[in-house]
Amino acid sequence: MKPILYIVIPCYNEEKVLPITAPMFLKKITDLSAAGKISDDSRVLFVNDGSKDSTWNIIRDLSRENPHYIGICQSRNRGHQNAVLAGLMEAKDRCDITISIDCDGQDDINAMDDMVDAYLDGCEVVYGVRSKRDTDTFFKRFTAEGFYKLMNWMGAEVVFNHADYRLISSRVLQEFANFKEVNIFLRGMVPLVGFKSTSVYYERAERLAGESHYPLKKMLALAFDGITSLSVKPIRLITGFGCMVSLLSFIAVIWALIRQFMGATVSGWASTICIICFMGGVQLVCLGVIGEYIGKIYMETKHRPRYIISERTWEEESEA
């Protein structure tokens, strides 16, 4: 029996690029179906992440034009990770495999062929990995690659140069649904589920239209969320650093007492100010990191929903 594929595509203010990439996703579905690799019941599932433009209207129009297009709309903007999660959770009971991909056309759609082949060969998870970063600026390339190395050094299991372009089977998604945390970082959480996996390599192109929704500020926020959501190593580093500073302080106290007994002490304003500023800065940084973890614990204890679906295109069709 041919597997049913759902291509899950998060969309936020994508009215410029959606009319360009939507036919590309549909063609890929029909090509894979014609090749006998997937069922004709496969779908392109758009997830509107609270867009402020006409993105949702475009998705609704597409669903009316062709039954292979379907969409869901979140009640408000919840962020990229929650939008992907919403699409995957909606699809897990309706298909055999999902492929999540961004709407901007930068990820090579043809890599889906290799992903489906890997699934048919027995892999439950297939990661789309960038083979090179020639289209990135030096700064972006340096920071991105440094991020993946930092994540692995922090103890988080992430695939190098992999973002959110991946194939996941329904079987894996059923297990992934048991992960209930609010602070999610999918590229670090999916490997935790396990199952047989592999990688498919592709080259990333320039965005086809519109503007990037991931400026440096959001990229840094995502990186920090990933580290604090998947690893407690920053807390351990603070503990180790605190022990080191305490040891140095203890040595300094002994040295000060010896100098006092030798009668060689000289009052100094500069040294006192330097020590106070240094210790104050260290304490504030440590409190900031600890506070970040406490904040995440606070959000987890509330058990708020990670996403809320306000509309589904297939519900509109049934009402009509």
pLDDT (0 to 100) of residue 237: 73
Higher-scoring residue by pLDDT: 229, 102: 102
- Position 303: which residue type? H
User: In the structure, what pLDDT confidence band is assigned to residue 259 with cuts at 50, 70 and 90?
Assistant: low
Q: Name every residue whose Cβ is closer than 8 Å to that of residue 204 and which is 6 or more positions away in sequence.
A: 106, 107, 108, 130, 133, 135
pLDDT digits (tens, 9 = 90+) for 204-214: 766 555 555 55
Residue 190 clears pLDDT 80, i.e. is over it: yes
- Greater confidence, 214 or 315? 315
Contact 65, 22 (CB under 8 A): no
Helix (H) or strand (E) segment spanning residue 128: strand 125-130
Nearest by Cα to 47 from 82, 68, 22, 72: 72
pLDDT (tens digit per residue) in 267-302: 665 566 667 666 766 776 777 777 777 776 766 676
How many angstroms separate the CA atoms of 259 and 271, rounded? 15
To the nearest 10°, the Cα dihedral for 74, 77, 79, 85?
A: -10
Per the rule left: phi > 0, alpha: psi between -120 and 50, beta: everything else, 113 is alpha
Q: What would the DSSP string read from start to end of 164-228? A: EEEEEEHHHHHHHTT---SS--HHHHHHHH-SSEEEEEE-----SSS--S--HHHHHHHHHHHHH
DSSP 309: E
